Amino acid sequence: MKRHTLLLLSALLLALLAGPSHAHAAPLLTGLGGPAGFGTGNLPGNDDGSSEEINVRMAFPDGLHFFGSTFFALFVNNNGNVSFGGSNGTFTPEAFPVASLRMIAPWWGDVDTRGGGTPSRNGVYWSITPGRFVATWHTVGYYSTHDDLSNDFQLILTAAGPGIGDFDVEFRYNRCQWTTGDASGGSNGFGGTPAQAGFDAGNLEDFVVLPGSRTMAVLQLCTTSNVSIPGVWRFEIRGGEVMCPGRGDPCTTDLLGICRAGTRRCRTPDASVCVANVMPSAETCDNEDDDCDGRLDEDLGETMCGVGPCQVTTPNCVMGTPQTCVPRAPMAETCNRIDDDCDGEIDDLPVISCGIGVCQATSIACIMGVPQTCTPLSPSPEICNGFDDDCNGIPDDTLDACFARPDAGPPDAGGRDGGVFDVGPDFDGGPFFDAGVPDAPRCIGYGCNPYRLEGRAGPIGCDCRAGARRSPGLALGVLPLLALLLIRRRTR
Question: What does pTM read for this prediction?
Answer: 0.60
- Residues 450 and 479: their CA atoms lie apart, in Å, by 9
Q: What angle (nearest 5°) sits at the alpha carbon of residue 260, between those of residues 256 and 264?
A: 150
Q: Which residues contact 92 (CB under 8 A, 6 or more apart)?
A: 110, 183, 184, 185, 192, 193
**Would you tell me how many other CB atoms lie within 10 Å of the CB of residue 228?**
7
Output the average pLDDT for the chain.
82
Whether residue 441 has a cis bond before it, omega within 30° of 0 = no
CB 174 within 8 A of CB 154: yes
Per-residue pLDDT of the chain (492 residues; tens, 9 = 90+): 334 434 444 444 444 444 444 445 899 999 999 999 999 999 999 999 999 999 999 999 999 999 999 999 999 999 999 999 999 999 999 999 998 899 999 999 999 999 999 999 999 999 999 999 999 999 999 999 999 999 999 999 999 989 999 999 999 999 999 999 999 999 999 999 999 999 999 999 899 999 999 999 999 999 999 999 999 999 999 999 999 889 889 999 999 999 999 999 999 888 889 999 998 999 999 999 999 999 999 999 999 999 999 999 999 999 999 999 999 999 999 999 999 999 999 999 999 999 998 999 999 999 999 999 999 999 999 998 889 899 998 988 877 656 444 444 444 433 333 333 333 444 444 443 444 444 444 444 444 444 444 444 334 344 443 333 444 444 444 444 444 444 444 444
- Residues 140 and 126: their CA atoms lie apart, in Å, by 15
Q: Give the amino acid at 185.
A: G
Backbone φ, ψ for residue 158 (5° rounding): -130, 130
- Residues 92 and 190: their CA atoms lie apart, in Å, by 13
Torsion of CA 246, 248, 250, 254, to 10 degrees: 80
**Would you tell me how many other CB atoms lie within 10 Å of the CB of residue 331?**
13
Three-state DSSP class for residue 146 = strand
